[in-house]
Structure 1
């Protein structure tokens, strides 16, 4: 399905015509470099036959690249009404292949909008990237309705997603991401590629959902245990878990974990054991 793209005006011209100055309140940083949007679309793999969910398309730079790269349909979720007209121009150029959803991605039932197989590819607005990812990772039932996530985050967030036990970056996000997915940083994106340039480097992260999570756990219980453990990460687990239960010692004993350990020392599997012990309490 991929091939020569239909004639569309340059993105800068579109932004000027519709007055699309990026809004800080919406976490907007537009990608105008078509070589880069093409690279991100290609990083998502062969898209022929796939529905692709894109969050925060803005003026549609990545949207165009996803369509050019062969996506069967792109479901673009945008809460900024100013961007809708620009996206409608793209929709007209690719008849029947762009579905524009005006709304808050945190509230949209994405699963109901796609036909399998589906992928998620997005330059995520900075202020909702983490909650969106956590929501996708807590999808029920599992395996999820998507078979890959190709997402852009601030470099610091990307490092937290792939972090290993023992390091400063290791925390809630690493445990939740690696429990149900294999995560890797694909490449960094220079801040000058954006309008306006953010103050930090960004990174594109690939997450491939595991058919079976690393270990058995209830996602909501695991989330609560991990949040409590890392909420006071300098304390020993026997103390930090007291925000969750006054009976932290027997739980840690049941899970086979030393109560003097700290959250950052535990593997994903150990957190799952703790979540199972808590669920059985």
Structure 2
């Protein structure tokens, strides 16, 4: 399952303290486990939907916490329909959980895709490996700045709140964990084509030791077109990907989007460099 269950009450209370839940909140919990967080939310918020894929946990969770305002689902969280919950309760959903370390990226990208700029998911407070947490909040020019940093900070305001010792879990993991809070919002600069934006970020960080021009050459676009783009753009292509801010990644992908949409293979390109 890839799960390590939280067993420390002090940590559970600290997480709940950061959430500051109110009576009108609607929560989805990832990986309810033994109910360490579930018990603080089940009877104190408007609605809780707790997901737990491990069937061994379900009977106890349902016996202890299931009610009209708290449902326990023996389902994969990745199948959750956030928009349906948001519409049902006419409010953005809040997310909390101790997420399985082996599918952290899958869960994060589902949240990014479904949040709809905070109108469907308002925030998520998640336990994860500390090295992943550090990558999420990493600034440009750092060794840990990468794909996850750019996407997380594009969609959210991200804060690493505190770390959690391996001794607070069973079974005991080999790594330290951390709590990260994501607050979803409108992007500061709009991406023209999210597919191209994602392709640019993923491709150049996949070749992070190469300068930007060489990394962009691996995009799945026509080689001649990309050569023309390199000639026409005034964007600095000799820097490495970790030196670009999120704003610069957006500007680069937006410029490439316009170029792709207007490109004619027969046109003459005048170099801007």
TM-score between the two structures when normalised by the length of structure 2? 0.86
Unaligned runs of 5+ in 2: 261-273
Q: How does 1:163-182 map to 2 (within 5 A)?
A: 163-182=138-157
Deviations 1:94-120 (A, max 9, x none): x32211222222233233234213211
> What is the deviation of 1:250?
4.7
Using the alignment, how far apart are the partners of 1:147 and 1:141 within structure 2? 9
Q: How many residue pairs end up in the alignment?
A: 252
Who is 1:96 aligned against?
A: 68
Q: How does 1:151-190 map to 2 (within 5 A)?
A: 151-190=126-165
Unaligned runs of 5+ in 1: 1-25
Which SS does the other structure have where 1:61 is aligned? coil
Who is 2:52 aligned against?
A: 78
RMSD between aligned alpha carbons? 1.9
Who is 2:248 aligned against?
A: 270
> What is the deviation of 1:254?
6.3
Using the alignment, how far apart are the partners of 2:33 and 2:230 within structure 1? 47
Q: Larger radius of gyration, structure 1 or 2?
A: 2
Who is 2:82 aligned against?
A: 110
> What is the deviation of 1:47?
3.0
Deviations 1:213-234 (A, max 9, x none): 0211133322211100100100
CA contact (8 A) 1:236 1:259 kept: yes
> What is the deviation of 1:77?
1.4
Which of 40, 53, 56 is equivalent to 2:31? 56
1:141 to 1:118, Cα distance in 2 relative to 1, 3 A: closer
> What is the deviation of 1:42?
1.7
Q: Does the alignment pair 1:261 with 2:242?
A: no
> What is the deviation of 1:27?
1.1
